[in-house]
Structure 1
Amino acid sequence: MKNGAGCNPIPVPDHRLPLISIALDGYEGDGMKNGAGCNPIPVPDHRLPLISIALGRQRKIINLREKFFQQNGGIMLQQRSNCEGSVQSAKIVTADDLKKATNNHHESRVLGQGGQGTVYKGILSDNTIVAIKKSKVADQSQTRIEQFINEVIILSQVNHTNVVKLLGCCLESQVPLLVYEFITDGTLYDHIHAVGHNTSSMTWENRLSIATETATVLSYLHPAVSTPIIHRDVKSTNILLDDNYTAKVSDFGASRLIPIDQSQLTTLVQGTLGYLDPEYFHTSQLSEKSDVYGFGAVLVELLTGKKSLSFDRPEVERNLTKYLFPQ
């Protein structure tokens, strides 16, 4: 009716709003311009705890490596390097790289074991074959650490074709590791005494050549370098051979630098019976003669094919050098 309520359309609720609300997951509010609006719901960043854990682990690893560095004589190495200088610096190799190189120090890679530790055959990422000396875990005495650092310092100053080259070292692992060039055919001792070898394959020419090459090393170490070096443990097990019977003198852990103004040095007696200079043994006075005596014992070993020291022989003949050259 004209004067009544009239005829107006009944308001129809907009059922699209719930659909819009459902479609906007992750938002909150009533969606009204004059109301609460439509705002994104804050989402907590769950990555933060993971980042915190990762940083914590990284910090622990760094602290542990720093602990091992100090424990393995890193500070001592830095101090001695600054004082004594070096011809070349040994490359720093990571513990992870050396684990990969030795298949996690697998027993199949063991080249030899001795009083100072284990030597492994390693293959670096660039396919270089190396020998890796790993010190004994139980032997972390100050003396052993000093020997380790001493070998790094000495070999960093030596550059001779008949001396085993030091390629790198690792101080940031539980025990220190040294990386050397790989010498293919074992020790002179093994060849002379047929430890896995045929003695007939080493001719007299080979023997004389090995003796000459070893003598040139001692001639180089004693007067030729800026500060004379006494090897202190010249013996057939410390002379390595390659496939061509080229001699490579190794193991400088016991070596000593002799000040130029001194001809000898008083030290604690160290060496191997059968090769140990009697004068040094009785007086503790280390000199170039001590190395010469050890070399003489190696010569006798080369010429006779007999062990320098053997308890299987009569008592008077046990020490071969003393027996052949009595004082």
Structure 2
Amino acid sequence: MMQKLKHEKARKLRRKFFEQNRGQLLQQLVSQRADIAERMIISLEELEKATNNFDKSRELGGGGHGIVYKGILSDLHVVAIKKPKMVVQKEIDEFINEVAILSQVNHRNVVKLYGCCLETEVPMLVYEFVSNGTLYDHLHGASLSWNNRLRIAIETSKSLAYLHSAVSIPIIHRDIKSVNILLDDTLTSKVADFGASRYIPMEKSGVTTMVQGTVGYLDPMYFYTSRLTEKSDVYSFGVILVELLTRKKPFSYMSSEGDSLVACFVTLFAEGRLLHILDPRVIEEGGPEVEKVAMLAVACVQLKGEDRPTMRQVEMTLEGLQTSKEHVPDGENNEIAISSPSTNIDEINMDDST
């Protein structure tokens, strides 16, 4: 009898949490496609089995927000389970937001969301397990070859161009940084962490939101105006390019003159003194495309959003570089230019960026 009561109490509690976590809202979000609804909502029992009751040995890591566990679902998918630490309404809102966005995204360079569990006080997200750490770990730890850096830049640009222009309602990631780019065993990149992401209605060019992002990667125009557009992601991606070229950390770097990494990079580029800041490995392994990537980075971090290229233009330019790298004979110069709405890359006004 006691066992039955205990079981009933646990069932009621799970149900309470399910509703509290906006279970019905989530069901609405995914009910447009029944197969998603069935697949997306995972029971607590399944996750307990997958992680051996959230055993400490299954912990992959964690930060201020919570712990990530490695688990194996009953269908044998290896997953990463994000278990937040505390109940904060903002985090529950971000959770709902991430599920809504990722349930509609399907791209090889975006981390796949398998589902979520709503039966605990703080809801849990279940992603594909990406085995090889983050771009930040590889770049600032063991370092990466220039070819890998260029390929990761291309893959990341593809995923962002897809989010901006290939899904039914454009999505702005809003927190692009090297920590949010995961790498698998083949160093293929997967963009992750969509908690802060936002939809942009087709008829609008942007939305006004509370400023959110990471110091060093944050679009200054968005910071000053609170107006979020696709060009905010372009700026952050430009910072990633600078990070790939210099192997310096955007959030902590300061030049002897007190300049940030981006400001210092743009100044040195304008003065033709980029060698002072480029990573020695890039100088050693990179060919003529290094200058082109630097030029592209400078275009992306222009102060005014309208002076930056679109992510689709960025993707095409990077792909063009890789193609020319593979197919153009040595010594043949293949000029690549991007035109953003108001600027040709060769005519960038450096004064606007410093």
Instruction: Give the TM-score category using the shorter length.
Output: 0.7 to 0.9
TM-score (normalised: structure 2): 0.71
Return closer, same or farther for 1:282/1:122 CA change in 2, 3 Å cut-off. same
Mapped pair 1:103 → 2:43: no
How many angstroms apart in 2 are the aligned matches of 1:148 and 1:309? 26
How many angstroms apart in 2 are the aligned matches of 1:302 and 1:275? 13
Select between 126-135 and 69-78 the one with higher mean Cα deviation.
69-78
Letter in 2 for 1:228: P
**Aligned residue number for residue 218 of structure 1:** 160
Letter in 2 for 1:231: H
Mapped pair 1:298 → 2:240: yes
Question: Structure 2 residue aligned with 1:129, among 73, 78, 91?
Answer: 78
Mapped pair 1:321 → 2:270: no
Mapped pair 1:289 → 2:231: yes
Return closer, same or farther for 1:271/1:85 CA change in 2, 3 Å cut-off. farther
Mapped pair 1:193 → 2:140: yes
Mapped pair 1:174 → 2:121: yes
Mapped pair 1:228 → 2:170: yes
Q: Which runs of structure 2 are paired with 1:5-24 in the superposition (5 Å)?
A: none
How many angstroms apart in 1 are the aligned matches of 2:82 and 2:164? 26
Q: CA deviation at 1:77?
A: 2.0
Question: Structure 2 residue aligned with 1:144, among 75, 86, 91?
Answer: 91
Aligned residue pairs, count: 267
Mapped pair 1:120 → 2:61: no
**Aligned residue number for residue 19 of structure 2:** 70
Question: Structure 2 residue aligned with 1:91, among 20, 40, 45?
Answer: 40
Structure 1 gap segments, 5+ residues each: 1-49
**Aligned residue number for residue 309 of structure 1:** 251
Greater helix content: 2
Letter in 1 for 2:184: D
Question: Structure 2 residue aligned with 1:258, among 196, 200, 219?
Answer: 200
CA contact (8 A) 1:264 1:287 kept: yes
CA contact (8 A) 1:86 1:156 kept: no
Return closer, same or farther for 1:206/1:125 CA change in 2, 3 Å cut-off. same
**Aligned residue number for residue 303 of structure 2:** none
Q: CA deviation at 1:80?
A: 4.2
What SS class does the counterpart of residue 248 from structure 2 fall into? Answer: coil
CA contact (8 A) 2:30 2:103 kept: no
The root-mean-square deviation of aligned C-alpha atoms, in Å, is 2.1
Cα shift readout 1:118-152 (whole Å, capped 9, x = no counterpart): 2111122343321111112x2x2221111001100
How many angstroms apart in 2 are the aligned matches of 1:321 and 1:76? 41
Q: CA deviation at 1:314?
A: 4.5
Select between 242-251 and 120-129 the one with higher mean Cα deviation.
120-129
CA contact (8 A) 1:230 1:291 kept: yes
Return closer, same or farther for 1:81/1:126 CA change in 2, 3 Å cut-off. closer
Select between 123-132 and 183-192 the one with higher mean Cα deviation.
123-132
Cα shift readout 1:246-296 (whole Å, capped 9, x = no counterpart): 110011111001111101000000000011000000100000011001101
Return closer, same or farther for 1:162/1:204 CA change in 2, 3 Å cut-off. same
TM-score (normalised: structure 1): 0.76
Larger-gyration structure (1/2): 1
Q: CA deviation at 1:62?
A: 2.4
